[in-house]
Amino acid sequence: MKLDTLTSEKIKVFIEKGKASSKEICQIFLDQIEKSNFEIKALLHFDPNFAFQQAEHIDRMQAEGKPLPDLAGLPMVIKDNILIKGLRCTCGSKNLENFVAPYNATVIEKLEAAGAIFLGKANLDEYAMGSSTENSAYGPTVNPHQPDYVPGGSSGGSAAAVAANMSLAALGTDTGGSIRQPAAFCGVVGMKPTYSRVSRFGLVAFGSSLDQIGPLANNVRDVAKILKVISGKDPRDATSLDVEVPDYVAALGRPIKGLKIGLPRQYQRSGVSEIVQMRIDSGLKRFRDLGCEMIEVDLPHIDYAIATYYVIAMAEASSNLARYDGVRYGMRGTEEDDLTNMYLATRDAGFGEEVKRRIMLGTFVLSSGYYDAYYLKAQKVRTLIKQDFEEAFRKVDFLVSPTSPTPPFRLGEKTNDPLEMYLSDIFTIAANLVGIPGISVPCGSTTDGLPIGMQIMGTHFDEERVLNLAHAFEQSGEVS
C-alpha cells in the first residue's frame, strides 16, 4: 500500500470491500510514525490504543453491514492546541505539560462522528505563536524534505506529518498564516476557512478575533471533504455563524474559464525571492491557459497589515494568556512568599521567550495612555484593509499571491531576528484580519527540492469556489 497515493476515498473503499481493515490501515501509519517521528518530531505524543479503539469501531460497523461515514478510517493528526478528551494538550508549552483535555473540541466531535482516526497530537510553536515551529518547548519540528530546514509554523507538526506520510490529513489552526505557510513549506494543501465558518469551541485561544481551525492534506479533494465535516454553526461558539455549508466536494471540477484573478500591485514589491516569483509566474500562466483573466488590483492600506496584525494579535494573546497564572490554569512555579512573586515565578518558568515577548507587547498596547495610540488605531486600520479587500472583490473573483515570500529557511536562521520572522507571514495575515478564506496549494519547488506554495483567497464564505479553483490548478499538472 503506497502511502503517498492514498486518499480518504480509497481508504473507505478498501474497508468497504474488505481489502483492508481500518485497524490494519491505522497500524501502517503508526508504523510510519515510529519510523519517522524521532527525526522529524512532527508529533508530540501519540496513543496507539486510543487510535485502535476508534479503528475497531469502524471495523465493527463494517462487519455489521452498517453504512460507513464519509471519513471512515481516515488517519489524522491534530494540532496540540485542539482538545481531544482523555489526551494531553500541551500547546507546545511547559505551562500545560500535564494537562489532559476533559472534553472534546467541536471539530473533534464532528470528525469522530465522520469516522476519522486520531493518531496523535502534532507539534507547534508554543501557543501557536511562531512561523517555524522552533518555539515549541519540546524542540523543533524539521522539514521532511530537508531536515536542516523549518517546516513553517505554527502548524508545522501538522504539515510535516502529512508530508512525511505519518498521517493522511491533519487539523491545524491559522491566526496569521499558520496553516497556509507550513502547508507551502512542506508541499501539501492547507486551508484557512472564513472566520466563523468552523467552531473554535475546544481550541486553546491565541487571538480570538483571528483564530480559525482548518484542514491540511495531500490533495484539495481531501481538504474539501474534511472542511465539509467540520464546518457549521455551533451554539457553544458565540462567533460561529449559521451559514449554509455547501457540498465542497460536489463543487470540484466546475469550469473556471472566464474567472477573474486579482494580482495585488502592492504584493509585487514585497521582497519575493526570485525562485518563488518564477514559480508563481508559471502558476499564473497555468491559470491563463485554463481560461482565467488576470487583473491587477490595489490594496492601498496593505502595507500597514503587518503592524496592524501584530498589535491586535499580541493584545489578544496578552488577554487570553492572562489565565495561566498558576492558580486557575497551567503549572505553578516554585512556592514564593506572596501572590505576586508566585505569579512571576510561574509565568517566567511556564512561558518561552516568544510568548513572553508577545505578552509584554500586548500588555503595553492595551495599557493606559497607549490604548488609543496603538490598539484602537490598529482596529481602525483593520477596517480600512477590510474595505480595500471588499473593493478588490467587486472587480475580481479571487486574489492570488505567493503563500510566503521565500522558500523554507534553515533552522535557526531567523530565531534571533523576530521582525524578519514576522515578515514571513506578509502575504497570509491579511486574510485573518479581514476574515476571508485562503488556501495554499503546491506550486513547484526550488532547484534543491524545497516546496513553494501559491495562495488563493476568496471573499467571505466563498470556500466552495476557492476550493474549485485550487482543485483545477492541482489537476492541471505540476509547476516547474
Q: Report the catalytic residues.
A: 79, 154, 178
Phi-psi region of 197 (alpha: psi -120 to 50; beta: other; left: phi over 0): alpha
Q: Which three cell numbers stand for residue 287?
A: 491559470
The whole-angstrom separation of Cα 416 and Cα 404 is: 19
Looking only at the bridges linking them, the beta strands covering 398-402 and 260-264 are parallel
* C-alpha angle 264-269-274 in degrees, rounded to nearest 5: 110
SS3 311: helix
78 and 104 in contact (C-beta within 8 Å)? no
Q: What residues form DSSP beta bridges with 180?
A: none
248 and 230 in contact (C-beta within 8 Å)? no
332 and 346 in contact (C-beta within 8 Å)? yes
CA atoms within 13 A on the CB side of 120: 26
The whole-angstrom separation of Cα 339 and Cα 409 is: 43
Looking only at the bridges linking them, the beta strands covering 398-402 and 438-445 are unpaired
Side chain identity at 468, as an amino acid letter? N
76 and 170 in contact (C-beta within 8 Å)? yes
SS3 172: strand
**End-to-end Cα spacing for the chain:** 28
Which of 189, 226, 252, 224 minimizes the C-alpha distance to 440? 189
Residues 6+ apart with CB under 8 A from 383: none
Which of 425, 400, 153 minimizes the C-alpha distance to 310? 425
